[in-house]
Amino acid sequence: MNNQSPRALAFSLLLRSENDKLYSNVILDTAIRRNKLNDADRGLLTALCYGVLEKQITLDYLIDALSDRPASKLDDDVRVLLRMGLYQLRFMDRIPAHAALNETVSLTPKRARGFVNALLRHYTREGNGIALPDREHEPISYLSIAYSFPLPLCERFVSIFGFDRAERVFASIDRTPPLTIRVNTCRTSVAKLSERMSAAGAFVSPALHASTALRLEGGNPTALPGFTEGDFFVQDEASQLCVEAIDAREGMKVLDICACPGSKSFGMAINMKNTGSLTAFDLHANKLSLIEKGAARLGLTNITVAARDGRSFDPSLEGTADRVLCDVPCSGFGVLAKKPEIRYKDLSELSPLPDIQLAIVENACRYVKSGGVLLYSTCTLFPEENEGNVARFLARHPEFSLTDFTVGDLTSENGMLTLTPDVHGTDGFFMAKFIKE
């Protein structure tokens, strides 16, 4: 894989993703580590991989409109190359059309080079005239093609939000999200780190809601001043607000039930000023080293890790914790802007999730001491995983009640807060805060 151009790398990664259904962020991070790419090449590789995955439905619609051979009938390698070429021509304004066309054709196997060349040239002549489905008469098809979401997911979002709000949510997801970091206030201040990063040429701005967050425009965070010293870590603002909501304080005993990759554990440990004890559990033992390495870099010594199924009761923990966080496994439909392949999940396969989530929170609630706090959170916008599970939990556990909270400039309603990309400029996120009587 070494010494390949960013387009050649993108082609190989997208082909792997097409065939093996791998997570884009995992294979992309691996490729970036193995190849010594400058910032420009790294940026092009990332934009192509995420962009082509994100716009796959739109790109296949264009292929179908430009050719009598539909995208679904093409060989995988030809389909991926056409998507790459069309993505550059339609969505990447800074790339000249001749460069996008020529570079794509050069990657194409000889058997299909003429076909790929002809289709891309056809697009440069007539592509802007390809009509989308009519917004008024075919609203679901319009959303699907305009924003590249499968029809069932479009129907689901419209059923939750209504058509106009669903389109606003999709349009917000369509924008490249800023990178948000959490400042390690055990080691530095927001002002000092912001000044240091700006002096190094980074584009830094305050976050929208969280006081310990900064937004970065582009660049590699691991190359920025303060990363090696543990002055910050990457964490979306919604996740940071979740940490604020649980209100972990100095000297407390805190349990993070589904902790990996660990950013919420780190945030709570920092808010505890590296005192007390925080145990980070996760079902997958092989992932716990991520938390240990992150805690070591950040200088957080109050975190310990353990492999545990969140549904399995540990009698030694019963009634011992001041704070318990259940950031449960979920459908992930709040982080579509960062993980584009989530949009292609089969919705019918997600029906067991609410029961799994409820089982986790019903088990974990037994660890909360009298007067302690339980926080339930997801990174999805589906009501059955959010408000629906809250209602089911309260019906079974009268010893808990919802309690309102304020995080940054936001206040919960009836103990619950839903963050959405269109309103809050963050990931889609849900949190509910309970207190044990």
**Residues labelled catalytic:** 379
In this structure, the number of other CB atoms found within 10 A of the CB of residue 230 comes to: 19
Tokens at 23, concatenated: 């997570």
Long-range contacts (CB closer than 8 Å, 24 or more residues apart) made by 193-199: 193/226, 193/231, 193/232, 196/225, 196/226, 197/224, 197/225, 197/226, 199/225
Coil/strand/helix, residue 211: coil
* List of residues 6+ apart from 325 with CB closer than 8 A: 242, 246, 254, 255, 256, 257, 264, 268, 375, 377
Q: Is residue 157 within 8 Å of residue 140, measured between CB atoms? A: no
How large is the C-alpha radius of gyration of the chain? 23
For residue 384, CA distances in Å to 173, 258, 356, 377, 378 come to 21, 19, 12, 13, 11
Q: Which amino acid is at 284?
A: H
Contacts of 315 (CB under 8 A, 6+ apart): none
**Which of 295, 316, 312 is closest to 304 using CA atoms?**
295
3-state helix, strand, coil in the chain (%, to 5): 50, 15, 35
